[in-house]
Structure formats: structure tokens, C-alpha cells
Amino acid sequence: NIFEPKVSLTSFKTNWLKYRKYISSHINIDLKINTGRDIDNSIEEFNDVVTNAAVLPTPNRNIKVFRKITNNEIEKLVNEKRQARREWQLSRSPSTLRQLKSAVRKLKKALKRDEEYNTENYIKHLCPNSSKKNSLWKAQKSFKPPVDSNMPIRHLNGNWARSNEEKANCFANHLEKVFQPNVPKNNFKLPTLPNIANESSVSIRTSTYEITKILKELNPKKSSGHDNITPKMLIELPNIAISVLSLLFNAILGFGYYPISWKKSQIILIDKP
């Protein structure tokens, strides 16, 4: 599948106390795991609880709308253009059409002069050593980045891949043919290891203490995966959620089953220059 751009579920305004309370009151601690399918269902349920707990205590981001300040001359020309357009729409006469075109030309020239003046004035006040808003280094960040090209994809049979599923299958077939294992230089074969999951003598288990220790070492600034769960969300998990994680990990080790949702990976294809 082709994943959509990730959306951050949390922010610096997230109430982590409410986050932990929501998880503690909604998480299922009575896990009945008998098959690998039960493991997949339990992990999906755990992910849903964590993501919902992150969305609810996070306030919506208020998008500020910046209104461009114009001078009185431009506002006057805008009103004249609107008046001329209104008169032309009512009469549809050639004289009112000429007045409308003249008002449009005057407005365009005034806007161009105002933009050139503001740009020249902004450049004059830039300073390479300033750490404020007039910094030259901060000015270059406002430049528009290059637009990523979204080139069309064609199958080997000549048909175009239109949907995301068709594009993903096309990329998968291409990568499968490109990346082939190298020819071995010797005939050495690794010995076959026994399946430790079926041996009763071998018991591998984890504990909440071990999981808590690993979570504390995570970098909270790292980005999330395809499930939108960030390291910060894992660090803020309550003790009851860590206990559920311990049960899931022990079930995975006991059955020797790897969850399907953890087998997903993200591949970024870079266009050739």
C-alpha cells in the first residue's frame, strides 16, 4: 500500500495526564490469546486505544490567517474596480467595459509597485549578523522549496497505474526484479536451528521492568511509524498499558508468531536526476 503523509496526533499542548487516564480506563487487560489471529486483534485494539488517547487531550491547532496590509491607494483602486465591474454587469455596454479594463490595469500596476517597494525595503534592512526577524538566514527559509514531481507510472504491459494500489504493486514488482540475491561464492550451508518456540525446555519471557527500561531510553523527538504512534506516546504510557505490552510480547514469544501489523515497512523511492 502507498501510505498517506503522516499526521502528528500530539503537540506541545497535549495533556499527558488525561492521556494516561484515558488509556487506564479504556484498555483491555483481560487478553484471551490462543492463536496468532488473537495476537493481531489485540495489537490493533491496543493501537486504537493509544491513538484515541492522544487525539482527545490534544487541542486543535488554531490556524492564524494573516491579512496583507495594503495602502489607501490600493484600497481605493479595488473599490473603483468593484464599482466598474458592477456597472458593467448591469449595463453590458462597451463604455463600462472600457472603464472596467482601465480600473483593472491601474490596480495591477499599483499592486506591482507596492510589491516592488516592499521587497526592496525588506532587502535593505536584512542583516547577516542579526538574530531577529531581519536576519538574512531566516529570510532564505521563506523561499519556496522545489516542487516534487509526481511522474506517471506505467506497467510493463503499457497500461497506466492510476490508483494507489496499482502504483504500489508496480513498485513492488519492479523492486522484486531489481534486488536479487548475489550468487554465493562457496557451497557452505548454515545448519538448521531447532524451533525454540516448540520446545518446552526453552522459555523466553519479558517483564514490565525490562519494557519500562527500554521505553525510558527512547528518543522522544523521533517520528512515528505507519501507526502514528510516536516514542513520546510510548514513554507516557501508564503502568497498566506496559503490563498489557508485556502480555503481548510474552504471547508472541510463546507462540513464535510475528504480528502482521509489525511486518509493514516504508520504502521511499527517489527519482533519478
Provide the whole-model pTM: 0.59
The helix/strand/coil state of 102 is helix
DSSP string, the chain: -PPPPP-----TT--HHHHHHHHHHH--------SHHHHHHHHHHHHHHHHHHHHTTSPPP----PPPP--HHHHHHHHHHHHHHHHHHHH--HHHHHHHHHHHHHHHHHHHHHHHHHHHHHHHT-BTT--STTBHHHHGGGSPPPPPP---EE-TTS-EE-SHHHHHHHHHHHHHHH--PPPPSS---PPPPP-GGG-TT------HHHHHHHHHTS-TTSPP-TT---HHHHHT--HHHHHHHHHHHHHHHHHT---GGGS----------
Q: In this structure, are residues 56 and 9 in contact, taking their beta carbons and an 8 Å threshold?
A: no
pLDDT in the model for residue 214: 95
pLDDT by position in tens, the chain (length 273)? 455 556 788 988 999 999 999 999 999 988 889 999 999 999 999 999 999 999 999 988 766 655 666 688 899 999 999 999 999 999 999 999 999 999 999 999 999 999 898 888 888 877 776 666 677 777 777 677 777 667 778 888 888 888 888 888 888 888 888 887 777 777 777 777 666 555 545 578 899 999 999 999 999 999 888 888 999 999 999 999 999 999 999 999 988 899 998 887 777 777 665
Q: In this structure, are residues 198 and 256 in contact, taking their beta carbons and an 8 Å threshold?
A: yes
Residue 135 DSSP label:
B
pLDDT in the model for residue 19: 96
Domain edges within the chain: 16-55+203-262, 74-140
pLDDT in the model for residue 230: 93
pLDDT in the model for residue 273: 58
pLDDT in the model for residue 193: 64
pLDDT in the model for residue 187: 74
pLDDT in the model for residue 202: 56
**pLDDT tens for each residue of 134-181:** 777 777 776 777 776 677 788 888 888 888 888 888 888 888 888 877
